[in-house]
Chains A and B, each alone.
Chain A
Amino acid sequence: MTTGRVAIVDLGLGNLHSVAKAFERAGANAELSSDPDVLLRADRLVMPGQGAFKECAHVLNGEIGEAVRSWIDSGRPYLGICLGMQALFEASEEAPGEKGLGIFPGTVKRFDADLRDAEGRRLKVPHIGWNQIESTHPVFENGEWYYFVHSYYCVPDDERLVVATTDYGATFCSAIARDNVMACQFHPEKSQHAGARLIGHFLGDVSWS
């Protein structure tokens, strides 16, 4: 397995230390950068994300966004995490009027204010903590536990993009994949064994779909 260099897109919006650490634990040479040249010279690109869609959209409106777009077009491996997944879509209820990268048609929605579990108990938003995924995709194990922290989730127009779903009051899309692009709502870097397996797949010789 040759992992090569992993560039982690630094949008300047949050703490990416734990993402970098997770890739280093997996044996990769990971570099945080906001420089399009550095990003485009890597072998693999990771776009993590914390913070708000609005600020993210603003930063992606510039040259970093162009770099990410051209990276994805080039067919090289891309992993989006949390906001790095949401940013691939066209728009978000979190910031009406702001544009995402629009790589995939679809939007990002907020969990209902009156979300309830099967027993009728009110569920809290944000959805914080460990939850399971349902998936038949080869990079996942059905029922694996991942760590989530979010109030918004992606709704792709094309349901065939969805490779994992999670139940939180309702079933939502927790991972998408197409060609060279994989993106997940959960945080593999915080998800212990399951996360390490996913990162291992990303660093290996894998095609997502």
Chain B
Amino acid sequence: MLAKRIIPCLDVKDGRVVKGVKFVGLRDAGDPVECAQRYSAGGADEITFLDITASHENRRTLFDLVDRTASTVAVPLTVGGGVRERRDVSELLHAGADKVSINSAAVANPTFIKDMAEAYGAQAIVVAIDAKRVSGETDKWTVYTHGGRRDTGLDAIAWAKQMADYGAGEILLTSMDRDGTQDGYDLVLTRAVVDAISIPVVASGGVGTLEHVHEGLAGGGADAALAASIFHDGHYTVAEVKKYLLDQGVCVRPPEQD
């Protein structure tokens, strides 16, 4: 039986792990390669890097980081942030990423996703959706781009469907209302997207407790749970999260004893 995945996410800026609350107020949380190794050893099913480095010159730092991580970590590595053109995708894959996550560039040019899925296979192309609940609505969300600064007005559910149709291999769904709050995933949003498409959905944004992870996978129906601060801040190890989920009857790959 296919296991639900636990994915620690590392927000990376200029070669360091950072984590903000609601996309602002960044704190330094360590060396990405070391973090990735620690999480992988603890049973992480996949590692995600989201690069929020502003300047294009510092992209080299990211490629180096991806290369060093891929050299030592034997689980899939997803990298996103600032992916605008084909060359960005190809450079990341060549540096050792298994999947590349694309956000703003997909909105700017949806056929980019089609082209990339054809060129590199759907399995390598993740579309990241930053969704924010429309004020006053209970079941309507719009898609934001540019690190959460720009409201595109696109309906998040329709957009997820379109991206699945265009060949995305996976949707990385972040609730901007919950991101960094530790109040738990937006389960209504997660469930709505899961029910609308037939490709895997990775839930993101808001995990603060073990129960939140369970809710996202069970109630939310996500295929994978992505979390950042509960791991970086040392609240829980990946192994603890998995043990909890196993106790709740969720199918996860048990952490190995080294």
Q: Residues of A at under 8 Å CB distance from B?
A: 14-15, 17-18, 21-22, 24-25, 50-52, 117, 122-132, 145, 147, 149, 167-168, 189-193, 195-196
Cβ contact within 8 Å between A129 and B1: no
Segment at the interface with A among B72-80, B127-135, B183-191, B227-235: B72-80
CB-CB under 8 A for A167 and B74, given A17-B93, A129-B200: no
List, in ascending order, chain A residues with CB within 8 A of B71's CB.
21, 24-25
List, in ascending order, chain B residues with CB within 8 A of A52's CB.
121
B104 within 8 A of A: no
Complex Cα–Cα for A149 and B223 (A): 14
Q: Looking at A123, A145, A167, which has the most chain B CB atoms within 10 Å of its CB?
A: A145
Cβ contact within 8 Å between B120 and A189: no
Q: What are 30 A-B interface contacts by the 8 Å CB criterion? A: A14-B121, A15-B93, A15-B97, A15-B124, A17-B70, A17-B93, A17-B94, A17-B96, A18-B70, A21-B71, A25-B71, A50-B124, A52-B121, A126-B123, A128-B170, A129-B3, A129-B4, A129-B223, A130-B3, A130-B5, A130-B253, A131-B1, A145-B3, A145-B253, A147-B75, A149-B123, A189-B74, A191-B74, A192-B74, A192-B75
Considering only residues 87-106 of chain B, those with a C-beta below 8 Å from chain A are: 93-98
Cβ contact within 8 Å between A190 and B121: no
Cβ contact within 8 Å between A190 and B1: no
| Interface range on chain B (Cβ under 8 Å from partner) | 35 or more
Across the interface, A126 reaches (CB within 8 A) one of B75, B120, B169, B258, namely: B169
Complex Cα–Cα for A209 and B40 (A): 32
CB-CB under 8 A for A50 and B95, given A132-B1, A190-B76: no
Cβ contact within 8 Å between B74 and A124: no
List, in ascending order, chain A residues with CB within 8 A of B256's CB.
192-193
B45 within 8 A of A: yes
Cβ contact within 8 Å between A124 and B1: no
List, in ascending order, chain A residues with CB within 8 A of B75's CB.
147, 190-192
B193 within 8 A of A: no
Complex Cα–Cα for A196 and B41 (A): 13
B66 closest partner in A (C-beta): A17
Cβ contact within 8 Å between A50 and B223: no
* Interface SS of A by simple majority: mixed
Complex Cα–Cα for A198 and B1 (A): 21
List, in ascending order, chain A residues with CB within 8 A of B199's CB.
124, 126
Smallest beta-carbon distance B255→chain A, Å = 10
Cβ contact within 8 Å between A15 and B3: no
Contact with A along B107-145 (1 / 0, CB 8 A): 000000000000011111000000000000000000000
Complex Cα–Cα for A50 and B93 (A): 12
List, in ascending order, chain A residues with CB within 8 A of B124's CB.
14-15, 50
Cβ contact within 8 Å between A131 and B2: yes
List, in ascending order, chain B residues with CB within 8 A of A24's CB.
71
CB-CB under 8 A for A123 and B74, given A50-B124, A128-B200, A149-B123: no
B198 within 8 A of A: yes
Complex Cα–Cα for A169 and B198 (A): 15
B44 closest partner in A (C-beta): A192
A168 closest partner in B (C-beta): B2
Cβ contact within 8 Å between B3 and A131: yes
Cβ contact within 8 Å between A18 and B96: yes
Cβ contact within 8 Å between A117 and B98: no
CB-CB under 8 A for A129 and B45, given A124-B200, A193-B256, A195-B74: yes
Cβ contact within 8 Å between B170 and A21: no
B173 within 8 A of A: no
List, in ascending order, chain A residues with CB within 8 A of B3's CB.
129-131, 145
Complex Cα–Cα for A132 and B76 (A): 17
Cβ contact within 8 Å between B74 and A25: yes
Complex Cα–Cα for A147 and B253 (A): 10
List, in ascending order, chain A residues with CB within 8 A of B36's CB.
none
List, in ascending order, chain A residues with CB within 8 A of B121's CB.
14, 50-52
B118 closest partner in A (C-beta): A52
CB-CB under 8 A for A129 and B5, given A50-B124, A51-B121, A124-B200: yes
Complex Cα–Cα for A147 and B46 (A): 10
Cβ contact within 8 Å between A128 and B74: no
Smallest beta-carbon distance A86→chain B, Å = 13
Q: Looking at B3, B254, B258, which has the most chain A CB atoms within 10 Å of its CB?
A: B3
